[in-house]
Structure 1
């Protein structure tokens, strides 16, 4: 008999998962970020661009972006996921919806720049006792 897990326990697990995932992203650890996806995970975050499919593609694209855009820039980026809703599905997956903001703080400047602001939909699965992202769709608010 499978253990019964409460909605609040599921919600807390999802929050813990996202907290770890964004720390990899903010820490410029593309491989670890990609490792939070399933082997065939889909990361659809570029309006008009093809989704990234699979950990290798995700790691390569995110790593290249970080190296060319962020590595030499001393700005501190923080991804904030909030207003999270978790919807357990009949197949055992979790569909989530949340808002994402990116805060960028420059050395010596107290007030961060905010942006972009996005709406995100994920499908999370349990693999080997851990949550992983199977599918992510990021919809920036500034793109209509």
Structure 2
């Protein structure tokens, strides 16, 4: 458990980080809202929509449609970071409440072992996908369109010159 000063500082930090996250999501919402109006209602059957989104994301169903090995590497990263979220929430709760998860019992040992295993999976996934992007035969998939690149630079140069 954390001392009182650390609890207060962590809470303030979490509040600031959460506020910045909400601000970022709000800015993204405003950008999306500027686009074409939706042709369908997005809030009908809200419970089933949330359930579908959770099942689709947690099973990585859409990721596994093509390129099986790339999908496995992607899922290593996804599941590792999803588990990191759980670990961080548990660590925050351990700071505020008097409990601790240790490897003394089978459940705690499994929790810690899974964290270690998924950490290795994240490393394997990230290194493999970076190597694939830099040296793989599909590296041309990640090149920029020269025309779009030049337009972007030209408009930036024009904006800078006229400002």
TM-score tier (shorter):
under 0.3
TM-score (ref. length: structure 1): 0.25
Larger Cα-atom Rg:
2
TM-score (ref. length: structure 2): 0.23
More helix by share: 2
